[in-house]
Amino acid sequence: MSDLSETKLAGLTLMLGPSLATLLYIIFIAIPPILSSTSIDQMDWSVIAREQSELDIWIRLPLLLVPVFLTFSIFGFSVLSETLEKFSHFYKAGMNFFVASIIISAAAWGVTQSIVWLGAPGWPAAVVSTGMASYAGFLGSIGMLIIALSVSANRDSYNQPLAYIVSAFMFLGILIQGVILLDRTEYILSIANPLKGITYVVFSVWAITLGRKLYQQ
């Protein structure tokens, strides 16, 4: 452990944190609806609450780790700011949004997990947790847009093209999450849900490249 420097530890948190959180999301949240023979009405909160309350514990248990892995990545992104030659002040401003989004999303995740205590009557908790998660996504997209653009200005140190791609996805995330918060409809959700999954994957790949660079330093 004494040989593990700050930059190496930061690199590991970036390589593992977002990627493991995304992997759990894909396995336990994104894939099951695709494989299911029946579709869930995303506008019926009692149905959403019942589905959540009926999840087996072997599914709910690993999902507890999603906010944990994302929280680990905060350390990695914080250390990364110290290695930037340009626009580190903008980067740090974006970190404020990113940290706030992690805190809110962790709280929303806790509310979602607690629906099992109430079953289908816990639909108000489903509404609250979804609203919190959407706003966390809104803030996180703003923060990551600023962070990605700041990193992209340091072309000699980091993957500039991928940073621009992440920036584009985060800009779309701001628009989509904003629309969902103002007017949640089936049409918007049909666009937002696939985009969310793709964004998580792109973000994870980018975080791995950043973490690998930090670890090599």
Banded pLDDT at 2 (limits 50, 70, 90): low
Q: How many angstroms separate the CA atoms of 93 and 70, rounded?
A: 19
> Does the pLDDT value for residue 108 go beyond 70?
yes
Span 15-41, average pLDDT: 88
- CA torsion 91-165-9-88 (nearest 10°) is -20
Q: Alpha carbon of 104 to those of 15, 21, 67, 111: distances in Å?
A: 23, 16, 10, 11
Is residue 118 very low, low, confident or very high in pLDDT (cuts 50, 70, 90)? confident
Q: How confident is the model at residue 86 (pLDDT cuts 50, 70, 90)?
A: confident
Q: What is the pLDDT of residue 83?
A: 86
Q: Does 4 score more than 90 pLDDT?
A: no
Mean pLDDT taken over the chain: 91
Q: What is the pLDDT of residue 38?
A: 74
Tens digit of pLDDT for each residue in 119-137? 888 899 999 999 999 999 9
Within a 10 A sphere around the Cβ of 137, how many other Cβ atoms?
Answer: 24
Residue type, 113: Q
Q: What is the pLDDT of residue 179?
A: 94
Residue 32 binned pLDDT confidence (cut-offs 50, 70, 90):
confident
Q: How many CB atoms lie under 10 A from the CB of residue 153? A: 17
The whole-number average pLDDT for the span 30-56 is 85
* pTM greater than 0.75 (yes/no): yes
Q: What's the average model confidence in pLDDT over 135-147? A: 97
8-11 long-range contacts, CB within 8 A, separation 24+: 8/214, 8/215, 9/75, 9/79, 10/75, 10/76, 10/78, 10/79, 10/80, 10/211, 10/214, 11/76, 11/210, 11/211, 11/212, 11/213, 11/214, 11/215, 11/216, 11/217
Phi, psi at 121, each rounded to 5°: -65, -10
Instruction: Give 152-178 pLDDT, tens digit per residue.
Output: 888 666 678 899 999 999 999 999 999
